């Protein structure tokens, strides 16, 4: 996943067009054999807790854009695992109860058109997600635990059986049972009960390097398997205890690199307990590298790719129908590119200037660049990736053409569906999620 911290930076000159232009721009089978299993394909989108601030991307935007109707799951990023080995809220870095359930949402910003009152126990994003589910029966919301900058304490927390039981019980208590810390009139026992339909594990990465400072040890690999089993056991036990029995789903975000897979994942074992896993389908190359490269290609020769990732998980025992392909709603960018040609595979001086974080730009801004007349659009192998190049700056990203191709690949190869990071990168009319939806449903 992408980091939590988003810092405002200078937007490139060619993209100086205002956000108002975005709304006026018109939307514009390989070696893997399908399995006999034909479930409904998943459409999973990550909603970022912090997107409500600088990006001003609200839960209501998922309804007004038509996105919610095209999703099967929303993964809420992120729940925090603290240094004490428990799911924490309000007393750990990265936790933001104000965004989650304390912040009052006014009528104009609310999904149901009714503003939050001072005495209601659940407000903020959580209440808006509850309203979104009411408006879209069948939509599920998962709590995603960890993330790139939130995985520091997993390894310590799961070293022992007691630690695993404590961690899982605390996460179920906070999110599945909905027992939130009291903050004025907000929170309390059962305040968020019924909101979350499962847990998504975003430990990046068991047994191998992730964000600097993460705990890493060789026994992470078997301990991750035991953690998954503990989640499955406790979720099932709680689901059976309800008057109306419920199956809580369990998923994970998992890596593309074979070395990281082998270091941290006993694939055949964990897949028995997971409902599905979301495959890393982006950040194959990042703007911190000194040479430009594709970040999310469907196919690539002698390089990371979506196809390579799918193959790596299949070869290690994962069922095809449980593999959900990750797709980016942002691009990676470099500036100071020299060497001519189409810009790909050339040296660069550093990450390109961008709106929030240097080297990373939302699709809605990249669309402005693509329509500016300054950049030339290039397409890669079998329409499996795209990039923009103006002679100096290069952005590699997925546009609707690429996403339709990837969604068709998912459908044709019997895979589980598509996942996107993150929903706030799309256009106001949901151009990208529409492309994925069409690719998954086309016959």
75 is a domain residue = yes
- As a whole number of angstroms, the distance between CA 170 and CA 166 comes to 6
Token representation of residue 301: 């020769």
**Count of Cβ atoms closer than 10 Å to residue 433 Cβ:** 28
Q: Is residue 335 one of the residues assigned to a domain?
A: no
Rounded to the nearest integer, the mean pLDDT of the chain is: 92
3-state secondary structure of 62: helix
Give Cα 246 to chain centroid, integer Å.
25
Q: Is residue 247, in this structure, part of any structural domain at all?
A: yes
63, 128, 131, 204: which is the annotated catalytic residue? Answer: 204
Joined together, the tokens standing for residue 361 give 């730009």
CA 408 to chain centroid, in Å, comes to 20
Task: Find the helix or strand (DSSP H, E) in which 167 lies.
Answer: helix 161-171
CATH number of the domain at 149, please: 3.20.20.80
In a domain, 215, yes or no: yes
The pLDDT > 90 percentage for the chain reads 89
Residue 430 covered by a domain: yes
Within a domain: 4? no
Tell me whether residue 304 is in a domain.
yes
The model carries a pTM of 0.92
Which residue reads 């060619």 in tokens? 14
Tokens of 232: 């499955």
- pLDDT, tens digit, for every residue of 72-124? 999 999 999 999 999 999 878 889 999 999 999 999 999 999 999 999 999 99
pLDDT above 70: percentage of residues in the chain? 91
Least confident of 25-34, 156-165, 322-331: 25-34
Residue 368 pLDDT grade (very low, low, confident, very high; cuts 50, 70, 90): very high
Calpha distance 364→50 (Å, rounded):
18
- CA gap 263, 117 in Å, rounded: 49
Residue 193: give the domain boundaries. 30-330+400-441
Q: Which run of H or E residues covers position 311?
A: helix 306-315
3-state helix, strand, coil in the chain (%, to 5): 35, 20, 45
Q: Quick check: 347 and 338 in contact, CB under 8 A?
A: yes
Domain count, the chain: 1
d(CA 267, CA 312): 10
pLDDT interval class at 29 (50, 70, 90) = very low
Active site residue 204: yes
Give me 310's structure tokens.
Answer: 């799918």
The sign of the CA dihedral 369, 309, 269, 205 is negative
**180 falls within a domain:** yes
User: What DSSP assignment string belongs to 227-257?
Assistant: HHHHHHHHHHHHHHHSSS----EEEEEE-S-
Q: Which residues of 380-417 are buried (b: 16+ CB within 10 A; e: fewer)?
A: beebbbbbbbbeebbbbbbbbebbbbbbbbbbebbbbb
When pLDDT is averaged across residues 161-167 and rounded to a whole number, the result is: 98
What pairing do the DSSP bridges indicate for beta strands 360-362 and 330-335? antiparallel
Contact in structure between 339 and 346 (CB atoms under 8 Å) = yes
Tokens describing residue 51: 């997107």
């Amino acid at each position: 996943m992408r980091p939590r911290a988003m810092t405002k930076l200078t937007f490139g000159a060619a993209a100086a067009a205002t956000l108002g232009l975005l709304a006026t721009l018109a939307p514009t089978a390989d070696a893997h054999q399908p399995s006999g299993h034909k479930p409904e394909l998943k459409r999973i989108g990550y909603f970022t807790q912090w997107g409500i601030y600088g990006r001003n991307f609200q839960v209501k935007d998922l309804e007004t854009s038509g996105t919610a109707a095209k999703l099967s799951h929303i993964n809420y990023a992120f729940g925090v695992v603290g240094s004490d080995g428990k799911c924490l809220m309000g007393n750990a870095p990265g936790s933001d109860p104000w965004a989650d359930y304390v912040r009052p949402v006014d009528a104009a910003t609310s999904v149901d058109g009714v503003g939050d009152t001072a005495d209601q126990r659940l407000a903020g994003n959580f209440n808006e997600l509850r309203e979104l589910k009411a408006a879209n029966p069948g939509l599920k919301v998962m709590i995603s635990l960890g993330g790139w900058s939130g995985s520091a304490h997993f390894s310590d927390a799961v070293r022992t059986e007691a630690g695993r039981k404590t961690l899982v019980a605390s996460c179920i208590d906070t999110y599945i049972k909905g027992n939130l810390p009291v903050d004025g009139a907000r929170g309390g026992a059962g305040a968020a009960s019924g909101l979350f339909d499962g847990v998504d594990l975003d430990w990046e990465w068991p047994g191998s390097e992730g964000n600097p400072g993460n705990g890493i040890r060789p026994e992470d690999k078997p301990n991750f398997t035991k953690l998954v089993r503990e989640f499955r056991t406790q979720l099932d036990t709680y689901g059976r205890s309800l008057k109306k029995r419920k199956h809580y789903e369990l998923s994970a975000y998992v890596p593309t690199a074979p070395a990281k897979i082998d270091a941290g994942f006993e694939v055949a074992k964990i897949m028995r307990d997971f409902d599905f896993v979301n495959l890393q389908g982006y950040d194959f190359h990042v703007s911190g590298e000194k040479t430009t490269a594709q970040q999310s290609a469907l196919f690539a020769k002698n390089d990371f790719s979506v196809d390579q990732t799918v193959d790596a998980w299949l070869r290690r025992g994962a069922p095809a129908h449980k593999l959900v392909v990750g797709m980016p709603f942002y691009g990676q960018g470099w500036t100071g590119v020299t060497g001519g040609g189409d810009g790909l595979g050339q040296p660069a001086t550093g990450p390109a200037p961008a709106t929030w974080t240097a080297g990373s730009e939302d699709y809605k801004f990249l669309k402005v660049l693509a329509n500016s007349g300054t950049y030339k659009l290039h397409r890669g192998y079998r329409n499996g990736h795209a990039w923009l190049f103006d002679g100096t700056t290069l952005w590699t990203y997925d546009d609707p053409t690429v996403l339709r191709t990837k969604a068709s690949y998912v459908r044709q190869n019997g895979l589980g569906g598509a996942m996107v990071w993150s929903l706030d990168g799309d256009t106001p009319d949901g151009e990208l999620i529409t492309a994925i939806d069409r690719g998954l449903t086309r016959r």
